Amino acid sequence: MAAPISLRLFSAAVPILLLLFLSAVSFADAENAHDLLPEYGLPKGLLPDSVVSNSLSENGDFVVELEAPCYVKFSYLVYYEKTIRGKLSYGAISDISGIQAKQLFFWVSLTGIEAHPADGTIEFKVGFLSQTLSASEFDRIRQCKAKALGRGFFPEELLPAVSEV
């Protein structure tokens, strides 16, 4: 007796769906985030060393997972949430969530990043405001720290030690 048409269609669809799923997984894990950024005209050091997984959809939406939330010291202290999201295009990241920078006494959420290779700079956007820094500051991948402590994180730590007389 012949199998019903719906069963034959289901049996034919399963291998195709499995193939599509496996290709999507391999696309997401094909490259780590640090190797992917330069392919999009951005320095690899925009993300800390604690990336455990990343995915990139065909439309540029990406998700980066870190081991844990952490801090990195650049010209400014930067806080990375455990999950970072955004939209990646050549030379830019828009719709960012999960990254904050400390400006004076305030934490501000980054909304976009844009590379300016002719100037050798990276522009960081916070709403309608922006700050431009040298792209060379992001050439190396930096260590992510669990706390905003350690040398160089607070101005008083930059002062020389005073010995008591």
Q: Are 52 and 70 in contact (CB under 8 A)?
A: no
Encode pLDDT of 103-134 as tens digits. 888 899 999 999 999 999 999 999 889 999 99
According to CATH, the topology of domain 31-154 is at5g01610, DUF538 DOMAIN (2.30.240)
Q: Which of 73, 88, 92 has the alpha carbon at shortest distance from 33?
A: 88
Residue ranges per domain, the chain? 31-154
Give residues with Cβ within 8 angstroms of 7, minimum separation 6. none
Encode pLDDT of 21-70 as tens digits. 433 433 344 468 999 999 999 999 999 999 999 999 999 999 999 999 99
Cα distances (angstroms) measured from residue 37 to each of 107, 138, 146: 25, 11, 24
